Chains A and B, each alone.
Chain A
Amino acid sequence: MFGHPGFCAMSLPLAGRWAFTPRLFPSAPAARLGTLRFLIGLYAFVFLSIRAPHYWSYSAMHPEQFQPVGLGTLLSGILPAPIVQILVVSSVLLSVPFMLGYRFRIFGPLFASALMALLTYSNCFGQILHTEHLLALHVLVLALTPAADAVSKDAIAREHAARRSSAVPGFAISNPATPHPRYGWAIQLLSIVCVAGYLLAGIAKVRHSGMEFVMGDTLRNYVAFDNVRKLELGSIGSPVGPVLLQHTGLFGVLAGLSLGLELGAPLALVHRGFGMLWTLLVWGFHLGVLVIMAIGFPYHLSFIAFLSFYRAEAILGWRPLGALLARLGLIPQAGPEPHP
């Protein structure tokens, strides 16, 4: 689909130049999008491998527990146990070619579908867990974009093919470090879906609590409430949150900061510097939530969720990672070309 020679000659009557300004579709190198695909795929592989026993446990659910959401509403009841188990195993396995960028046009959408199905199903049992939305959306975006044009098995195979038959049109070796809007828009879309989640969380707080969220004891009460709830439901609470409850004023400050970060999230899209600062602050916010409320957003805490705001391909210059990627056959043995 992308970069296919047939499309070079394609010209639609709609010029649509207005819609393709550099601001809307900034340029970025293929190596950046490829690096993001590799890192997000690596995270998904590790996450799914660790969580596989948990997802497997959904094969033993009782029909009364089924409360479908999203695409799960298409189901009339719980899935047969073998189907759930196949879904778990196939999600773990499919994350590997996704991560490696191997036959990505096939395995990219396949992995995104399997992950979406698995995570949707796991959210169909009484409570939607908001820790996995962004990972699912990022994988979906990557699967639908040319995310394997660099740092991938496909790119290396294409390069070898081009070297072997340089006369075949369309097989010219493209420089993965050359910025192009074909890759920039996809990276921007990763950032948009990231920022949107925070903005909506802020809007929900204003809608449901108004300024009471900042002015009143709402956050303090939530910290106490969530820790009691976890302890009484036989789980683990935070040892720090309850200690801080006596410092009433602290929670007003924390509430104001968190609401500001959420409502101000769109600014992260306006300027690269703002974006990087915002991601650092939001990461700190998640760390605080983990410490005070024992709620972990692993994808966000890994920081991989925020790498679309950075020149992610710079990490290819880190020798151990470059060597690993070269051994995996994702970049040429000589290492990546330096970013201009």
Chain B
Amino acid sequence: MSWPLWERLYALALTLLLSALVVGPAFRNPPYDSFPFSDYPMFSAGRPTPQLRLTHVQGVFENGSRTPLSPWVAAGNHEVLQAGNLIRHASFGSVESRGAFCRRAAARVAEEEDLQGVVAVELVTSDFDCVRYFEEAQKPQFQRTHERCSVTRDSAR
């Protein structure tokens, strides 16, 4: 079976083009993480200590205890890492935008049956020792509150 030259050139061109596009992000300065071409930087940055500073959203019960809110309730996104990034960005925002973000989370809390005891939502940044977190207590070493807002429920519901 013959293979026309035109098809051969097409095969060569597509192979070279796609290979260059796939490998290219790693050789750009700085390397380029995107979709569908990426330098695949996940878990590549040095992490010599188990310290983690995380901005997250907590539900606060009447007795003061706290519970993590799901990615959807906290940030309106089911993907946990995307939700985490959106929460972090929200903490950098103005007082107004932080307040709006918090109120949107509180509105989603009010709609959740299993979060009926939650009376407030807090946008916080916490410092964790991630190894000690599992060995001792699942609590942050330090926590700073950026925003707090009350959960308002429609009593007619």
- B36 in complex: contacting residue of A25, A137, A221, A222, CB < 8 Å: A137
On chain A, the number of residues with a Cβ less than 8 Å from chain B's Cβ atoms is: 89
> How many interface contacts (CB-CB < 8 Å) are there between A and B?
244
Chain B's nearest CB lies how many Å from the CB of A154? 17
| CB-contacts of A32-65 with B (<8 A) | 54, 57, 60-62, 64-65
A73 vs B140: C-alpha distance in the bound complex, in angstroms? 37
Interface size class for chain B? 35 or more
Per-residue CB contact flags for chain B residues 120-157 toward chain A (1 = under 8 Å, else 0) read 00000010101101110010000000000000000000
Contact present for A7 and B4 (CB under 8 Å): yes
Contact present for B78 and A57 (CB under 8 Å): yes
Q: Is B111 an interface residue (CB 8 A)?
A: no
A53 vs B27: C-alpha distance in the bound complex, in angstroms? 37
Measured between beta carbons, the chain A residues less than 8 angstroms from B57 are: 234
| CB-contacts of B1-45 with A (<8 A) | 1-9, 11-12, 14-15, 18-19, 22-23, 25-26, 31, 33-45
Contact present for A201 and B128 (CB under 8 Å): no
Q: Is B103 an interface residue (CB 8 A)?
A: no
Chain A's nearest CB lies how many Å from the CB of B31? 7
Contact present for A233 and B84 (CB under 8 Å): yes
Query: Chain A interface mostly helix, strand, loop or mixed?
Result: helix
Q: Is B64 an interface residue (CB 8 A)?
A: no
Q: Is B99 an interface residue (CB 8 A)?
A: no
Q: Is B110 an interface residue (CB 8 A)?
A: no
Contact present for B19 and A233 (CB under 8 Å): no
Chain B's nearest CB lies how many Å from the CB of A179? 9
Measured between beta carbons, the chain B residues less than 8 angstroms from A8 are: 2, 4
Answer whether A221 and B50 are a contact pair too, CB < 8 Å, given A130-B42, A193-B22, A200-B25.
yes
- A65 in complex: contacting residue of B7, B44, B76, CB < 8 Å: B76
Contact present for B44 and A204 (CB under 8 Å): yes
Answer whether A234 and B11 are a contact pair too, CB < 8 Å, given A65-B77, A126-B77, A203-B26.
no
Contact present for A245 and B131 (CB under 8 Å): yes
Chain B's nearest CB lies how many Å from the CB of A78? 12
Contact present for A140 and B36 (CB under 8 Å): yes
Contact present for A61 and B41 (CB under 8 Å): no
Contact present for A221 and B49 (CB under 8 Å): yes
Answer whether A128 and B15 are a contact pair too, CB < 8 Å, given A181-B3, A232-B68, A233-B83.
no
Chain B's nearest CB lies how many Å from the CB of A111? 14
Chain B's nearest CB lies how many Å from the CB of A16? 7
Chain A's nearest CB lies how many Å from the CB of B67? 8
Q: Is A229 an interface residue (CB 8 A)?
A: yes
Measured between beta carbons, the chain A residues less than 8 angstroms from B83 are: 126, 233
| CB-contacts of A189-205 with B (<8 A) | 189, 192-193, 196-201, 203-205
A-B contact list, 11 entries, CB within 8 Å: A12-B5, A69-B33, A70-B35, A126-B86, A136-B35, A200-B38, A201-B44, A220-B50, A221-B47, A228-B134, A233-B71
Told that A221-B130, A224-B134 touch, could you supply 10 new A-B pairs with CB distance under 8 A? A7-B6, A125-B77, A128-B35, A130-B40, A137-B18, A181-B3, A200-B23, A201-B42, A207-B31, A228-B52
6 closest A-B pairs by beta carbon, nearest first, are A126-B85, A224-B130, A242-B134, A201-B40, A204-B44, A235-B80
Residues of A within 8 A of B (CB): 2, 7-8, 10-12, 14, 16, 19-20, 24-25, 54, 57, 60-62, 64-65, 67, 69-70, 72, 116, 119-120, 123, 125-130, 132-133, 136-137, 140-141, 144-145, 174, 178, 180-182, 185-186, 188-189, 192-193, 196-201, 203-205, 207-210, 212-213, 216-222, 224-235, 242, 245-246
